[in-house]
A and B are shown apart, each in its own frame.
Chain A
């Protein structure tokens, strides 16, 4: 297995395996809520394959990134909308 990488989630550093998707990493660490819907409901991933847009997070300042299509990268800055 590849060496773990360090990503920051809501300002806190976490070490995660290098070969996982961001959605998988978030879910494993208990971040079941990844964004808020347009009316403010908490939402988490549904389809796991880029279709439902329920795992949207902010990655390096870019909103609307689908965590399920994103591989974790060292130094990645992630914000969930909890």
Chain B
């Protein structure tokens, strides 16, 4: 790598790694600076669910495109990435949720994403561990799951093979035009990408991102109990309403046979401690849907901070004109899913290429809905 890289990417989470991967493979000299270690923050805390969502047209465009980009890599990904295409099963508790599921199935199908509605009997056949009395579900078979730290390392390794360099335990103190001030000195560069997740506003004041805390639990190995990534349809309400705290049923089988149980959302600043109250609420919700979970052994819990924006869309694109500063942050709970789309979109914009999806909804300086912070 030359002394002054074309691009400095700040943050070696999965989003920064994907940006570096696309930029380096496009011939840019890239330096990635990471304050801790690669994939060690929100990326490590995430479930790894690769999921198409349709809260907005823009969200659907970014998630469905990102899922396709990952699927194109499926033959290349090493075993430790634990990539599996189990499909998501959205569970409807009642008829109104099932009606919403039907509408979503139509929306997905008309846009080329496979989706099917299941009645109560099919739901029970597909996931016998779910409690009886549920209305049905929506299956999205093209969704998957990865082990995010391993996918992040794979992307960074690929970037490094294309000439990029990754420096860990380097704290960036300031971004200035044409340079970043880091522990260890000033690094002159062409462009800067702030991909520091929930910490991005520390370096770029004014970015509309707040940390949204989440809890996760992982069990010992119980292969076969669940087949799909199972989420309640009510999850969307939990994810899309900026209340101070909410929980939703979300269970993800891993390649190891372990089950990840989520999820919670809290606006409590940067308090990292596991909150036993939230954990208990979250697990009661989960055992309400899958009673057999109650007897399984939980072996670990942890928390992480999603970078949340007021309009639920990430910030991807240039910051102030002419500053040389670009943003790839604010992915809330979809950073793992949309990392590849983000990296591709950002690199296309930076290199003046025609992007595959409309970048306008992701412009970092866009108008945000009022009242949200």
A and B in contact, CB less than 8 Å:
yes
- In order of increasing CB-CB distance, the 4 nearest A-B pairs are A64-B220, A64-B297, A63-B222, A62-B295
Does the CB pair B295–A38 fall under 8 Å? Answer: no
The A37-82 residues at the B interface (CB cut-off 8 A) are: 38, 62-64
Given A38-B221, A38-B256, A64-B220, 5 further pairs, Cβ under 8 A = A62-B295, A63-B220, A63-B222, A64-B221, A64-B297
The B242-273 residues at the A interface (CB cut-off 8 A) are: 256
B 215-231 binary contact with A (CB < 8 Å = 1; else 0): 00000111000000000
CA distance A38 to B221 in the complex (A): 9
Chain B residues packing against A (C-beta within 8 Å): 220-222, 256, 295, 297
User: B295: which A residues are within 8 A, CB to CB?
Assistant: 62
User: A38: which B residues are within 8 A, CB to CB?
Assistant: 221, 256
Count residues of A near B (Cβ-Cβ below 8 Å): 4
- The 8 sampled A-B contact pairs (Cβ below 8 Å) are A38-B221, A38-B256, A62-B295, A63-B220, A63-B222, A64-B220, A64-B221, A64-B297
Q: Which residue of B lies closest to A56 (CB)?
A: B220
User: B222: which A residues are within 8 A, CB to CB?
Assistant: 63
Q: Which residue of A lies closest to B295 (CB)?
A: A62
- Shortest B322–chain A CB gap in Å is 54
CA distance A24 to B256 in the complex (A): 30
CA distance A63 to B296 in the complex (A): 9
CA distance A63 to B257 in the complex (A): 13
Q: Which residue of A lies closest to B256 (CB)?
A: A38
Q: Which residue of B lies closest to A64 (CB)?
A: B220
User: B256: which A residues are within 8 A, CB to CB?
Assistant: 38
CA distance A49 to B220 in the complex (A): 19
CA distance A64 to B221 in the complex (A): 9
User: B221: which A residues are within 8 A, CB to CB?
Assistant: 38, 64
- Shortest B256–chain A CB gap in Å is 7
CA distance A38 to B258 in the complex (A): 12
CA distance A63 to B295 in the complex (A): 10
User: A62: which B residues are within 8 A, CB to CB?
Assistant: 295
- Shortest B4–chain A CB gap in Å is 46
User: A63: which B residues are within 8 A, CB to CB?
Assistant: 220, 222
- Shortest B219–chain A CB gap in Å is 9
Q: Which residue of A lies closest to B296 (CB)?
A: A64
CA distance A64 to B296 in the complex (A): 9
- Shortest A16–chain B CB gap in Å is 26
CA distance A38 to B220 in the complex (A): 11
Q: Which residue of A lies closest to B220 (CB)?
A: A64
CA distance A62 to B220 in the complex (A): 12
User: A64: which B residues are within 8 A, CB to CB?
Assistant: 220-221, 297
- Shortest B104–chain A CB gap in Å is 36
- Shortest A18–chain B CB gap in Å is 26
- Shortest A53–chain B CB gap in Å is 9
- Shortest B22–chain A CB gap in Å is 35
- Shortest A66–chain B CB gap in Å is 10
- Shortest B300–chain A CB gap in Å is 14
User: B297: which A residues are within 8 A, CB to CB?
Assistant: 64
CA distance A69 to B222 in the complex (A): 21
CA distance A11 to B220 in the complex (A): 25
CA distance A33 to B141 in the complex (A): 40
CA distance A16 to B222 in the complex (A): 30
- Shortest B217–chain A CB gap in Å is 16
User: B220: which A residues are within 8 A, CB to CB?
Assistant: 63-64
CA distance A11 to B222 in the complex (A): 22
The A8-52 residues at the B interface (CB cut-off 8 A) are: 38
- Shortest B20–chain A CB gap in Å is 32
Q: Which residue of B lies closest to A65 (CB)?
A: B297
CA distance A19 to B222 in the complex (A): 30
